[in-house]
């Protein structure tokens, strides 16, 4: 007798190829519109399914998990970051959590480099001149930026994405420095020509560019707080393609406005879509709408990972990308 198909609820629209494959394999409920589910909708979806496929826009906290009953067995997150899910509480309730690591590494690292270049080479200001039709021709002193080659890049969080940023930045001639919970193996440090700093404070004070690439956890919340931001060189630039909560956004805004920090490139914000309005007014700040992993290829591969995680679970095994609280 054929086994009953798992019931799977997906909270957001996914690329068509992913939705089609999910429908072929599972008893799947897809979303017609692409707005995030309300908390009530999310709770109802979780009560009525074996598997939930959420995204980072769905806050799955202990309160919500307490309402979902007994049916839900797997949260197969469409995304690498799981800071929106209370993984420990899910585990206590017998619900596994998986994610999609690896497949968005290169795309996110590319975007990190794009932000470093955009800020240091003043690309949005040049674009604005062209869009306003104000260009009067080449001039020796117009829109002078800074050369990235030779600058010191301090990577905060040297996991997959941090290392991918390091490889790219090396190719641009930057000097690689990093701070991480654990020091990398010597052969990796050697390949990346990366210098480890045990003291984050000391690293920050000596860098030209800081790139935030660590996940958002209770211990990384405001890791770049006002005190640490003050340690940055006044010529320093900070970019963040990880999670907004790692930087104290108000402190950063104040310091860029007062000239204590030279610029910033941000793809993520402390309060989601509620971006500090003052940041938007600053010419030396480049803001993007959380699009670090936004390539069609990457988003399809994320879907493939979700499918493998669900299928493996359906076959009675641990999903290959299971997240356990000790990893966080
Ligand atoms: C993730 O998967 O966590 C990324 O932030 C999405 O871009």
Angle of helix 296-314 relative to helix 16-25, nearest 10 degrees?
10
Question: Taking CB atoms and a 6 Å cutoff, what residues make up the pocket around ligand 1?
Answer: 56, 79-81, 104, 292-293
Token duo for residue 25: 């394999």
Q: Is the dihedral of CA 158, 272, 261, 113 positive or negative?
A: positive
Ligand 1: atom nearest CA of 294 is 7
For ligand 1, mutation pick of 78, 97, 104, 216 (most atoms within 8 Å of CB): 104
**pTM, full prediction:** 0.96
Which residues share a beta bridge with 210?
Answer: 154, 238
Of 113, 194, 186, 203, give the one whose Cα is nearest residue 158. 194
d(CA 178, CA 160): 13
For ligand 1, mutation pick of 85, 108, 115, 309 (most atoms within 8 Å of CB): 108
d(CA 46, CA 162): 34
d(CA 262, CA 146): 11
Ligand 1: atom nearest CA of 77 is 2
Which residue's CA is minimally distant from atom 3 of ligand 1? 81
Residues 6 or more apart whose CB falls under 8 angstroms from that of 238 comprise 209, 210, 211, 212, 224, 229, 232, 247, 252, 261, 263, 264, 265
Of 112, 163, 151, 147, give the one whose Cα is nearest residue 286. 112
Token duo for residue 66: 């307490």
DSSP H/E element including 211: strand 209-212
Domains and CATH numbers, the chain: 7-103+295-327 (3.40.50.720), 105-287 (3.40.50.720)
Q: Is the dihedral of CA 252, 255, 256, 260 positive or negative?
A: negative
Which residue's CA is minimally distant from atom 7 of ligand 1? 293
Ligand 1: atom nearest CA of 108 is 7
Token duo for residue 284: 């030396």
* Average pLDDT of every residue of the chain: 97
Which residues share a beta bridge with 176?
Answer: 153, 194
For ligand 1, mutation pick of 11, 15, 56 (most atoms within 8 Å of CB): 56
Ligand 1: atom nearest CA of 56 is 3
What pLDDT, on a 0 to 100 scale, did the predictor assign at position 3? Answer: 65
CA 69 to chain centre: 31
What pLDDT, on a 0 to 100 scale, did the predictor assign at position 2? Answer: 53
Each residue's pLDDT, cut to its tens digit, for the chain (328 residues) gives 456 899 999 999 999 999 999 999 999 999 999 999 999 999 999 999 999 999 999 999 999 999 999 999 999 999 999 999 999 999 999 999 999 999 999 999 999 999 999 999 999 999 999 999 999 999 999 999 999 999 999 999 999 999 999 999 999 999 999 999 999 999 999 999 999 999 999 999 999 999 999 999 999 999 999 999 999 999 999 999 999 999 999 999 999 999 999 999 999 999 999 999 999 999 999 999 999 999 999 999 999 999 999 999 999 999 999 999 877 7
Burial 269-299 (b: 16+ CB within 10 A, else e): bbeeeebbeebeeeebbbbbebebbebeebb
Q: What is the pLDDT of residues 92-102, one digit of tens each?
A: 999 999 999 99
CA of 293 to the centre of ligand 1 (A): 6
3-class secondary structure per residue, 29-69: ECCCCCCCCCHHHHHHHHHCCCEEECCCCCCECHHHHCCCC
Ligand 1: atom nearest CA of 99 is 2
Q: What is the pLDDT of residues 212-267, one digit of tens each?
A: 999 999 999 999 999 999 999 999 999 999 999 999 999 999 999 999 999 999 99
Residue with tokens 């990577």, as numbered in its chain: 155
CA of 299 to the centre of ligand 1 (A): 10
Q: Where are the alpha helices (DSSP H) in the chain?
A: 16-25, 39-47, 62-65, 87-92, 105-120, 123-131, 160-171, 186-192, 200-206, 226-231, 249-257, 277-280, 296-314
Ligand 1: atom nearest CA of 78 is 2
């Amino acid at each position: 007798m054929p086994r009953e198909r798992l019931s799977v609820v997906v909270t957001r629209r996914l690329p068509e190829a992913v939705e089609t494959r999910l429908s072929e394999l599972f008893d799947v409920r897809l979303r017609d519109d692409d707005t995030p589910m309300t908390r009530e909708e999310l709770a109802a979806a979780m009560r009525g399914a074996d598997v939930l496929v959420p995204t980072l826009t769905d806050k799955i906290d202990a309160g919500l998990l307490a309402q979902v009953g007994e049916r839900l067995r797997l949260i197969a997150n469409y995304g690498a970051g799981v800071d929106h899910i209370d993984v420990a509480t899910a585990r206590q309730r017998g619900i596994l959590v998986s994610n999609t690591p690896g497949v968005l590494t290169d795309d996110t690292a590319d975007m990190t480099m794009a932000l470093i270049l955009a800020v240091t080479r003043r690309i949005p200001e040049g674009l604005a001149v062209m869009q306003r039709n104000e260009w009067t021709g080449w001039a020796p002193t117009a829109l002078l930026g800074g050369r990235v080659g030779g600058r010191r890049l301090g990577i905060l969080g040297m996991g997959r994405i941090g290392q991918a940023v390091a490889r790219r930045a090396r190719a641009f001639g930057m000097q690689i420095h990093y701070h991480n919970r654990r020091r990398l193996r010597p052969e990796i440090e050697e390949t990346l020509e990366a210098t480890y700093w045990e003291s984050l404070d000391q690293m920050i004070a000596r860098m030209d560019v800081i790139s935030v690439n660590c996940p958002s956890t209770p211990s990384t919340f405001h890791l770049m707080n006002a005190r640490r931001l003050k340690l940055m060189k006044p010529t320093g630039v900070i970019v963040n393609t990880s999670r907004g909560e790692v930087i104290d956004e108000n402190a950063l805004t104040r310091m860029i406005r007062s000239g204590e920090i030279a610029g910033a490139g941000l793809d993520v914000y402390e309060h989601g879509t509620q971006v500090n309005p003052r940041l938007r007014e600053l010419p030396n700040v480049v803001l993007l709408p959380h699009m670090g992993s936004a390539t069609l290829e990457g988003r399809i591969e994320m879907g493939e990972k979700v499918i493998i995680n669900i299928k493996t679970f359906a076959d009675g095994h641990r999903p290959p990308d299971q997240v356990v609280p000790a990893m966080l």
